[in-house]
């Protein structure tokens, strides 16, 4: 069984952090820090452990932020050589996920020391990422923080450049949202423009994820960016754009699909057949799609399907699933069969009754058919 994600911050790592703090400040209460930070640790998830360690740092580090900053800076390990951030605090110093509480400490305590805090974020992100901690500054002093991030967009360190994009994601998972950028993403987009052709995929991937965040609130804005960026694009940038548009593609956003080459299909015959009109819970619903071209040229197709799940009150709730990307040759027919498992999952409750399969081709509905779900 895989190690629980929360154990990226475990008792051993907390002890190592305390040792490095003590090495920088002989008055540091190592025993008290470890006891406080690890109390009922096994009951806490990763984010809760991060908060616990940050709170304990506030309790045990000097109240003088500049003094605490020097202790944290001296405790940092060697700079990461790649994109891996799972390296723990070791004999070289604090790195990997153990940096998260340090960055949060700066985010909570460093506002009166802006320049020092920015230098701390920059050094910390070289050992993991400061993407969570710097968001406190983006919330409180967005313009001032953005001006610093703009200079970091051309930094020699890949981790610093990635922080520019990852830190300003409007809806960064596991962190607080940035409402000002959810409302107006233009300041974010200006920085992403500087990073879109970064020579490291680690950075470009973050740019794509950032745009995907923006697409959830401003689909037309991201569709327009995709339209601009795709023209004459290199293969790495094309890959970035496709990844950035994944939510819009799944939603069948027509302009985005067109930008990516999936235009409204020209079809003369479409047939959707349910092969399993009755499905017992735990089995799979099977269906076959047959589509015939009505065009003299090959057509790029993005085929998705929607299961309209029956709810307790008899209404239905749609869920989109990816099927396939393919090319439909000129004036030919494509036949494809799909099996969709209907089994117990933690994110959905199934109810007996009629369910509907709907097939989407390049964002356009081409057929619907029903099957009955039977509960044992």
Angle at 222 between CA 220 and CA 225, to 5 degrees: 110
Give residue 201's pLDDT. Answer: 96
- CA–CA gap between residue 32 and residue 11 (Å, rounded): 13
Structure tokens at 77: 């390990």
Sign of CA dihedral 94, 96, 97, 103: positive
Question: Measured in Å, how far apart are the chain's first and last C-alpha atoms?
Answer: 30
Contact 331, 305 (CB under 8 A): no
Task: Provide the pLDDT for residue 252.
Answer: 87
Please write down the long-range contacts of 249-255, taking CB distance under 8 Å and 24 or more positions apart.
Answer: 249/302, 250/304, 250/320, 250/322, 251/219, 251/320, 252/304, 252/320, 252/360, 252/363, 252/364, 253/219, 253/223, 253/363, 254/362, 254/363, 254/364, 255/220, 255/223, 255/227
Nearest to 57 by CA among 79, 32, 81, 82: 32
Cα distances (angstroms) measured from residue 326 to each of 100, 169, 303, 304, 361: 43, 32, 8, 11, 11
Task: List the one residue out of 161, 114, 166, 120 whose CA is nearest residue 141.
Answer: 114
Q: Please list, in sequence order, all residues whose beta carbon lies within 8 angstroms of the beta carbon of residue 7, skipping any fewer than 6 positions away.
A: none
Residue 21 · residue 61 · CB < 8 Å: yes
**Sequential pLDDT tens for the chain (376 residues):** 566 778 889 999 999 999 999 999 999 999 999 999 999 999 999 999 999 999 999 999 999 999 999 999 999 999 987 655 555 666 789 999 999 999 999 999 999 999 999 999 999 999 999 999 999 999 999 999 999 999 999 999 999 999 999 999 999 998 999 999 999 999 999 999 999 999 999 999 999 999 999 999 999 999 999 999 999 999 999 999 999 999 999 888 999 999 999 999 999 999 999 999 999 999 999 999 999 999 999 999 999 999 999 999 999 999 999 999 999 999 999 999 999 999 999 889 999 999 999 999 999 999 999 999 999 8
Sign of CA dihedral 76, 77, 82, 83: negative
CA distance 140 to 71: 25
Third-level CATH fold of 5-259: 1.25.40
Backbone phi, psi, residue 231, to 5° = -70, 120
**DSSP per-residue codes, 255-280:** HHHHHTT-PPP-EEEEEEEES-SEEE
For residue 85, give the nearest of 170, 10, 159, 149 by alpha carbon: 159
Query: Rounded to 5 degrees, what are φ and ψ at 348?
Result: -150, 140
Distance from C-alpha of 158 to C-alpha of 100, rounded to nearest angstrom: 18
Angle at 201 between CA 200 and CA 206, to 5 degrees: 110
The upper half-sphere exposure of residue 171, i.e. CA atoms within 13 Å in the direction of its Cβ, equals: 13
Exposure class string for 289-317: b at 16+ Cβ within 10 A, else e: bebebeeeeebebbbbbbbbbbeeeeebe
Using CA atoms, how far apart are residues 222 and 126, in angstroms rounded to an integer?
A: 30
Which residue spans of the chain are classified as CATH 1.25.40.290?
5-259
Q: Which CATH number fits domain 267-374: 3.90.1170.50, 1.10.10.10, 2.60.40.10, 2.40.30.170?
A: 2.60.40.10
Chain centroid offset of residue 99 CA: 20
Please give the pLDDT value at position 88: 62
CATH 2.60.40.10 boundaries in the chain: 267-374
pTM listed for this prediction = 0.86
Cα-based distances in Å from 21 to 71, 94, 204: 6, 10, 35
Q: In whole angstroms, what is the distance from residue 145 CA to residue 150 CA?
A: 9
């Amino acid at each position: 069984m895989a190690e629980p994600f929360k154990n990226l911050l475990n008792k051993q790592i907390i002890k190592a952090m305390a040792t490095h703090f003590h090495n920088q400040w002989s008055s540091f209460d190592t025993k008290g820090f470890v006891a406080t930070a690890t109390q009922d640790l096994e009951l806490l998830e990763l984010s809760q452990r991060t908060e616990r360690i940050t709170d304990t740092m506030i309790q045990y580090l000097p109240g003088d932020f500049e003094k605490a900053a020097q202790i944290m800076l001296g405790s940092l390990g060697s700079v990461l050589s790649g994109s891996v951030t799972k390296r723990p605090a070791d004999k070289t110093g604090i790195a990997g996920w153990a940096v998260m509480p340090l960055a949060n400490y700066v985010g909570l305590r460093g506002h009166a020391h802006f320049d020092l805090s920015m230098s701390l974020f920059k050094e910390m992100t070289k050992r993991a990422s400061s993407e969570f901690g710097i968001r406190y500054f983006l919330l409180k002093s967005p313009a001032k923080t953005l001006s610093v991030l703009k200079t970091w967009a051309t930094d020699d360190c890949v981790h610093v450049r990635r922080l520019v994009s990852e830190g300003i994601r409007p809806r960064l998972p596991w962190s607080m949202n940035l409402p000002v950028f959810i409302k107006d993403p233009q300041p974010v987009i200006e920085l992403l423009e500087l990073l879109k052709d970064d020579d490291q995929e680690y950075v470009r991937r973050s740019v794509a994820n950032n745009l995907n965040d923006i697409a959830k609130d401003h689909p037309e804005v991201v569709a327009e960016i995709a339209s601009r960026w795709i023209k004459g694009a290199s293969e790495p940038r094309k890959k970035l754009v496709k990844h950035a548009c994944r939510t819009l593609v799944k939603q069948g956003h027509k302009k985005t699909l067109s930008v990516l080459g999936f235009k409204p299909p020209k079809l003369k015959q479409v047939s959707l057949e349910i092969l399993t009109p009755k499905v017992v819970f735990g089995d799979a619903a099977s269906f076959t799609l047959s589509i015939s071209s009505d065009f003299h040229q090959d057509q790029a197709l993005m085929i998705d399907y929607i299961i309209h799940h029956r709810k307790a009150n008899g209404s239905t709730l749609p869920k989109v699933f990816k099927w396939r990307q393919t090319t439909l040759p000129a004036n030919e027919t494509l036949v494809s069969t799909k099996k969709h498992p209907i089994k117990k999952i933690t994110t959905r409750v199934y109810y007996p009754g009629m369910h509907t399969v709907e097939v989407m081709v390049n964002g356009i509905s081409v057929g619907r058919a029903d099957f009955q779900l039977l509960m044992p």
